[in-house]
Amino acid sequence: MRDVAALAKVSTKTVSRVINGLPGAGAEVVERVRAAARTLGYRPNLAASGLRRSDKRSATIGVLFEDLSNPFDSALLRAVEDRARHNGVLVLAGSSEDDRALQGELLVSLSARRVDGVVVMAAGGHQDALQQERERGTPMVLVDRPPTFGGTDCVTTTNRESSREAVLQLAALGHRDIAYLGDRRTLWTSQERYTGYLEGLAQAGLTLREELVRTDLHGADFAETAATALLDLDRPPTALFTAQNLVTVGAMRVLRARGLQRRIALIGFDDFPLADMLEPGITVVRQDVPGIGRKAAELIFARINGDTSPPVHAVVPAALVRRGSGEIAPSAP
């Protein structure tokens, strides 16, 4: 900046004025400064600027998701990023691996970089690190899972209601033995979806068969094992409700391996690419991922811009997408 000032024969303050488009600089001077900046390849230093400015904005937000390579997470990131771009804000992104310690470290890193706010998919278990950061005044929005502490916005989907709806649809087709395959029980979403499953059973007048419930399936491999065990029961389920993406894929593989994909009904929570191209197409509960991302971004930017209204828990509705696998009636034994 000093070099630019020297070359344009003005003070650094005038360069600052020109760069920031502030009034108080004559047309000729503006031109000289612009030219000097161009020839020297000058780029303002946002860090120094933020240090001095009164608002102390870094024009950067943090995004901490579980795994940025997961389609759900990356679609969410993209939606947040789009909104951020419109506000001239860049995104610092990290994967927490659902590991509290790692999430805490990343949070400290973000804090050290003075991000204006963070959008977080909270790791399972206690949220002390999140709460602490929140209490230091960092604007924060949780996505997918709500906070266990107060005063913080969050955006989730209709986990319970949509799960109930899925189970009710299966029951309406005549299924009485509907299995539940779920992700880690520490996750709030898993609990909600399981609750929805129970509600669905109850509402359909079905009794819960404990042995048809398999949880803590961390990935497709675990889901395969669980699905295999279920099908080997004396009285196997005639329908499966898989409460997560990878679990659905694992269950599908087993059905397919046994040639049962047209005989046993399957509804999964979370859509995935090509679900419509399989035979049969996979009926899923589809979350409105861009909608969730948009809402989260809206909330965080509102807070950053000083919105002090009471915390919001936004619920973005999911929809049942019927493709065939969830419309299979129970076959005669």
Partner DNA sequence: TCCTCCTACGTCAACGTTGACGTAACCGAC
Partner DNA sequence: GTCGGTTACGTCAACGTTGACGTAGGAGGA
- Could you say which of 35, 38, 39, 51 contacts DNA (CB under 7 A)? 51
Q: Within a 10 A sphere around the Cβ of 273, how many other Cβ atoms?
A: 7
| Contact between 118 and DNA per CB under 7 A | no
- Could you say which of 20, 203, 305, 331 contacts DNA (CB under 7 A)? 20
- Could you say which of 75, 204, 213, 260 contacts a copy of itself (CB under 8 A)? 75
Decide: 270 and 72 in contact? Cβ < 8 Å.
yes
- The 3-state DSSP class for residue 302 equals helix
| Contact between 102 and DNA per CB under 7 A | no
| Contact between 309 and DNA per CB under 7 A | no
- Could you say which of 50, 280, 291, 311 contacts a copy of itself (CB under 8 A)? 50
- Could you say which of 7, 40, 44, 176 contacts DNA (CB under 7 A)? 44
Residues 168-197 that bind DNA (CB under 7 A): none
Decide: 115 and 63 in contact? Cβ < 8 Å.
no
Q: Within a 10 A sphere around the Cβ of 262, how many other Cβ atoms?
A: 13
- The whole-angstrom separation of Cα 204 and Cα 191 is 20
| Contact between 39 and DNA per CB under 7 A | no
| Alpha-carbon radius of gyration of the chain | 26
| Contact between 35 and a copy of itself per CB under 8 A | no
Q: From DNA, a copy of itself, none, which one binds at residue 260 (CB under 5 to 8 Å depending on kind)?
A: none
Compute CA distances 207 → 179, 182, 235, whole Å.
12, 19, 14
Q: From DNA, a copy of itself, none, which one binds at residue 77 (CB under 5 to 8 Å depending on kind)?
A: a copy of itself
| Contact between 58 and a copy of itself per CB under 8 A | yes
- The whole-angstrom separation of Cα 266 and Cα 282 is 7
